[in-house]
Amino acid sequence: MELGDDLTDESVDMLDCIDVSACRMHELIGGILEFAQLDAAPPAMSNICLTEVVHGVVAELSDDMKAGGATVTVGDLPTVYGHPALLHNIFHNILGTQ
């Protein structure tokens, strides 16, 4: 069934949020599976742009931040060598703490 133009702007925003959340859930599950296999093989490390990581976390938390009246300004952050999912989780925990 095609809804097309029948969706309100709010409905489209909600569907976009669901899509982003589902993609993030997929990444988290992959990270958990990778973490569970740490004894078998070292984690996949790479160069990670922290600016992109933090912008992604801020986008995920934007509704909560708006509700709490919080604003976040992200400057230039370095590129570091690390595990993408773990770095994401670190910043999510820091910025998501209320």
**Burial, 53: exposed, middle or buried (Cβ in 10 Å; 0-12, 13-18, 19+)?**
buried
Please report, for the chain, the start and end positions of each structural domain, with discontinuous segments joined by +.
4-96
Provide CB contacts within 8 A for 52, sequence distance 6+. Answer: none
The one-digit pLDDT tens for each residue of the chain (98 residues) are 566 667 888 888 888 888 888 877 887 787 777 777 666 666 678 999 999 999 999 998 888 888 888 888 999 999 999 988 889 988 988 888 75
Q: Amino acid identity of 90?
A: I
Q: Find residue 35's DSSP bridge partners.
A: none
